[in-house]
Amino acid sequence: MDWSRAKSVLILAFLILNIILGYQLWLDVREQLSSNLDWTSLPEDTKKQMEMKLIQVQGKIPSETPTLTERTFQFVDEEQVTKRVNLATPISSQLIYIDEKELRKALKDAIPTIASYSYDQPTSSDGVFRLQYMLDNKWPMFEVSLELFYANQNIVAYRENKVVELESKEKDDKGQKVLPATNALGILIEKFLPTGSVVKEMKLGYHGQVYNETLVTAPAWRIVLESGDIYFVNAISAEVYHPKGEQQKE
């Protein structure tokens, strides 16, 4: 065997492998950098309104504009909204901050559906961790939640409002590309946000209203302010919904 030639081939193979791995790493980094925007990506008119109204945008602005459809659901059990179930064995509440995967593992026997939920800090409160149902394992449903009650640093009970999806009458509806987050935020800044507002988070998910136990939802951008106030912008129609002020139109 020609060891000199074999050595050269191995060196070349490792070099090619390093180039491939380096290129993949560069793609991953570029994707992460381009997955979110900041306030500088907003239109000039919107930035002027920000200055006039002393509004700050501290959270990242998502750049995703997927094609989504309106979807309808039925609540499984009316009593679930108020029914609180005590855990046979309390679980450390610190897991929700340390490792959400470990939290799911610890609670999977008591709450088999917990893998379908993700922690939502903005809507959690003292004594209650709120997790949102992830539709298609990707989109949070802002009205469908799992609440974990904690005391003395332990999760001691839970409440879950399950839903099942109803078959759409418009089976051929392929959906619509959603309104960009920059547009949704621009609408709020120019027409709805009070002076001095600080935007902390924007998230795309499904927001809806309940009609006779039926939850009719549409893609929506949820905007969370530093004050804890929350706005929803319908990502199809651009209508604005403020829970404190009911539905508002652009």
pLDDT > 50? residue 127: yes
How does DSSP assign 64-87, residue by residue? ---EE--EEEEES-GGGGT--EEE
The string of pLDDT tens digits covering residues 191-246 is: 999 999 999 999 999 999 888 778 999 999 999 999 999 999 999 999 999 987 65
What's the first-to-final CA gap in the chain, in angstroms? Answer: 77
pLDDT > 90? residue 138: yes
Secondary structure in 3-state letters for 159-224: EECCEEECCCCCCCCCCEECCCHHHHHHHHHHHCCCCCCEEEEEEEEEEEEEECCEEEEEEEEEEE
How does DSSP assign 19-63, residue by residue? HHHHHHHHHHHHHHHHSEE-GGGS-HHHHHHHHHHT-EE-S-EE-
How far is it, in rounded angstroms, from Cα 63 to Cα 5? 50
Predicted pLDDT at 30: 46
Secondary structure in 3-state letters for 121-176: HHHCECCEEEEEEEECCCEEEEEEEEEEEEECCEEEEEEECCEEECCCCCCCCCCE
What is the CATH number assigned to the segment(s) 36-70+168-248? 2.40.128
The string of pLDDT tens digits covering residues 60-92 is: 899 999 999 999 999 887 655 568 999 999 999
How much is the pTM? 0.80
The string of pLDDT tens digits covering residues 204-213 is: 999 998 887 7
Label residue 103 by pLDDT band (50, 70, 90). very high
pLDDT > 70? residue 169: no
Per-domain boundaries in the chain: 36-70+168-248, 77-161
How far is it, in rounded angstroms, from Cα 131 to Cα 235? 22
- What single-letter amino acid sits at 1? M
